[in-house]
Amino acid sequence: MSLLLGIDLGTTGVKCLVINERGKLLAKASEEYQLYSPKPGWAEQDPNAWWDAVLKGVRQVINTDKVLPKDIEGLAVSGQMHGSVFLDKNNQVIRPPILWCDTRTEKQCREITKRVGEKRLYDLVSNFSFEGFTAPKVLWLKENESRNYARLRTLLLPKDYIVYRMTGVLTTDVSDAAGTLLFDVRNRRWSQEMLKVLDIDGEVLPNVLESTDVVSEINEEVARATGLPKNIKVVAGGADNTCSAVGNGITEEGLVSFSIGSSGVVFAHTDSVKQDTAGRVHAFNHSIPNKWYVMGVMLSAGLSLTWFRESFGELERSVQSLSGLDSYGILSCEASLAPAGSEGLVFLPYLNGERTPHRNAKARGVFFGISRSHKKGHFIRAIMEGVCFGLRDCLEIIEGLGIQTQQVRITGGGAKSELWRQIQADVLNREVVTTSIDEGPAFGAALLAGVGCRVYEDVGEAVDCAVRIATGAEPIDENVGIYDALYPIFGSLYESVKGEYDMISRVTDS
């Protein structure tokens, strides 16, 4: 039976897995790497750390009793969107990549909007200019690091750098290219007019493939470093959000996924391009040929809980190191001791700015309603609830575009926690379900690899063969009432403090 390898290059680490053609998980591994923030709002990583983590992860999953490397037909890589990997003429990295959650490019976003115009942006690339997108990062490099910009010969997305290291081929796919603000989403090609208006040399952009196209076979160096056979095909793969959607079977209209990873994503499949003229949600290319999707994005979903764990979870981390118990699971248990609504404690999850629905790089996190009765568990639960309120913001906008929601499938860290699954069901007041695999992006990448290698005829057949519904959570009426009462307060809090965000920004930037 054919085996498939999926790799997900995330923000906090890489995940690798091997499945058979029926979707059975045979092996998985993960390796972490560090995110650097040299200045407030900045987010960078070391691509060599990415590569080392990928090699370690691949070696782990193929060196198991259930996996024979010779049976692996192909692999594909999923990855964090929007990040900029700048390469010189020798294809060496010029500076640390600037990531999706970096908000340093507010000035460049205003400049892009001024040069192109909001309406024209929608005509050309189907999206407004956001700090996380790739094009503003290119302008930032040009304006702030002119020597580095002069060395620029190729611009890649993070997962495409891994594909390059595996194959020696400089390429990207439509789903990742769509998040650069340089891509004609309607026609699935680079926008020559955008490049001209922004004075960006189109020669720095790689060739664009569909997510299921074969790039090349792995090179000999990778084969030696991992133990993979040299004839394994590398398929183009896709953005983490589209790969997660494929891994969760979001391949037809009416199906919506909620992903709580580092970011929070609400993803709705569409058969045609649908745009929010207010710019609160994005319209991008799906990893399925001639399909699209609408997506709302929170910048600090799982990252909010990660921040709390790193800043205040020393005890939980110590227990994990001594016992092997998951520190996030311990935090979830503590949160479960607090009641729904956290006794009036409300959290705004804007630790690093926000995209949907506020489009505000200066927004920051807020705990509101703190009293002496609040304990550590209340704060953890309030974080989980605040993230779910933000996801509800995204879904209400998407449904306002006339997109019907028949089923919500959840994935990421928020799907692993029984408490977080229940909070999502209660905040949305609808059933949420998980699929049989909780590593959506890597699983979806493996399915795309299967399509590229002709293990499956198309993505639809891959999903039918491999994706199954696993568990669900029904809303609890009492909790629904509490969250319906708190949700308007959550929204009004942002409106109350958004002016102060500008004031705080002036203080911290001075």
pLDDT tens digits, 116-147: 998 899 899 999 898 889 999 999 999 999 99
pLDDT band at 438 (very low <50, low <70, confident <90, very high): confident
Strands 154-156 and 85-87: antiparallel
pLDDT over 80 at 1, yes or no: no
Task: Read off the pLDDT of each residue in 364-389 and give the average, rounded to a whole number.
Answer: 97
Nearby residues of 147 by Cβ (< 8 Å), 6 or more positions away: none
CA distance 14 to 487: 34
pLDDT, tens digit, 9 for 90 and up, residues 384-397: 999 999 999 999 99
3 state SS of 438: coil
Active-site residue (options: 240, 276, 393, 426): 240
- How would DSSP label each residue in 312-324? H-HHHHHHHHHH-
Q: Write down all domains in the chain, each with its CATH number in brackets.
A: 3-248+438-471 (3.30.420.40), 298-435+475-509 (3.30.420.40)
CA distance 404 to 488: 23
Nearest to 242 by CA among 459, 415, 18: 459
CA distance 223 to 221: 5
Nearest to 423 by CA among 260, 299, 241, 249: 260
Whether 181 and 120 have beta carbons less than 8 Å apart is answered as no
| 458 annotated active-site | no
Residue 415 pLDDT: 87
Residue 355 pLDDT: 84
Nearby residues of 217 by Cβ (< 8 Å), 6 or more positions away: 167, 230, 231, 232, 233, 234
Task: Read off the pLDDT of each residue in 39-54 and give the average, rounded to a whole number.
Answer: 95
CA distance 375 to 252: 44
Tell me the average pLDDT of the chain.
94
pLDDT over 80 at 437, yes or no: no
Task: Read off the pLDDT of each residue in 276-293 and give the average, rounded to a whole number.
Answer: 92
| DSSP annotation of 188 | T
Please state which of the ranges 89-98, 219-228, 386-395, 465-474 shows the lowest mean pLDDT: 465-474
Residue 510 pLDDT: 64
Nearest to 257 by CA among 272, 271, 242, 279: 242
The backbone region for 362, taken as left when phi is positive above 0, alpha when psi lies in -120 to 50, beta otherwise, is: alpha
What whole-number percentage of the chain has pLDDT above 70? 100
pLDDT, tens digit, 9 for 90 and up, residues 67-108: 999 999 999 999 999 999 999 999 999 999 999 989 899 999
Cα 67 vs. chain centroid, distance in angstroms? Answer: 28
pLDDT over 90 at 433, yes or no: yes
pLDDT over 80 at 382, yes or no: yes
CA distance 160 to 280: 27
Q: Go through the chain and tell me how many residues it has.
A: 510
The structure tokens listed for 20 are 């058979």
- How would DSSP label each residue in 384-427? HHHHHHHHHHHHHHHHHTT---SEEEEEEHHHH-HHHHHHHHHH
In degrees and rounded to multiples of 5, residue 216 shows phi and psi of: 180, 180
